[in-house]
Amino acid sequence: MHSLYLLLRASPAALLLILCLQLGTNKAQEEVEDTRKLIMLNFQVPLTAKAGEEVTATLDVETQLRECVVIASYLKSDILIDGGFNYKYTSCLCDYYPKKFFWDFQTNNKSMVITATVDIIRQLGICPQDQAVIPIAANRFFSSRRLTVV
C-alpha cells in the first residue's frame, strides 16, 4: 500500500519518464528477438566411398529473410574432380521456400575435402519481378565435409 501511495504522489513528469523508459526497453527487446539468419546450410556427403564410386552430395539452403535473394551454389574440392561436381546452380531463395541441390560425381583415388559454397549475387531475371535484395556484407557462405576414399 505504501508503494501505491508513493506512485500517486509522483509528479506527472516522473510518470511520463517511467512510461517512456518502459516503452523503449520493450522496443529494444523486440529488435533483439527479430534477428533473422541470412543463409542456413545443411551439406551432406558420405563419410567414405570406394575409389571410382559415384557419390551424391546434397545441399539444403534456407533463409529467414522476408525478402528473396539470388544465390549461386557450387562445390569446391582440394583435388581436381570432373563431371557433375563442377555444376553451378543459380536460384531464387525466399523465406519458407528452401532449396535442395544435388551433385553426382565419381571419386578419384584420393580422399578429399569438399566445400559447398553459396554466394548471394546480383542477377536479373531469377527472382519474380526482380524483387531480390543484396546484403551489404556477408555474401558468401560455405560448409565443408571430408570424404575418405578407401
pLDDT per residue as tens digits for the range 9-44: 656 666 555 655 566 655 554 554 568 889 999 999
> What is the domain count for the chain?
2
What confidence tier does 6 reach under pLDDT thresholds 50, 70, 90?
Answer: low
Q: How far is CA 77 from the centre of its chain?
A: 21
Q: Do 27 and 46 have their domain in common?
A: no
Which range of 30-34, 45-49, 105-109 scores highest in mean pLDDT? It is 45-49
Q: Do 44 and 29 have their domain in common?
A: no
Q: Do 45 and 101 have their domain in common?
A: yes
Q: Do 21 and 85 have their domain in common?
A: no
Q: Do 86 and 13 have their domain in common?
A: no
* Cβ-contact 92, 128 below 8 angstroms: yes
Average pLDDT, stretch 97-126? 94
Quote the domain boundaries for residue 18: 2-33
pTM of the shown model = 0.74
Q: Do 98 and 132 have their domain in common?
A: yes
The pLDDT of residue 7 is 53
The pLDDT of residue 68 is 93
The lowest-confidence range among 17-21, 73-77, 100-104, 143-147 is: 17-21
Q: Do 50 and 20 have their domain in common?
A: no
Q: Do 25 and 96 have their domain in common?
A: no
Q: Do 60 and 18 have their domain in common?
A: no
Grid coordinates belonging to 95: 523465406
Q: Do 15 and 45 have their domain in common?
A: no
Q: What is the CATH number of the domain that holds 60?
A: 2.60.40.10
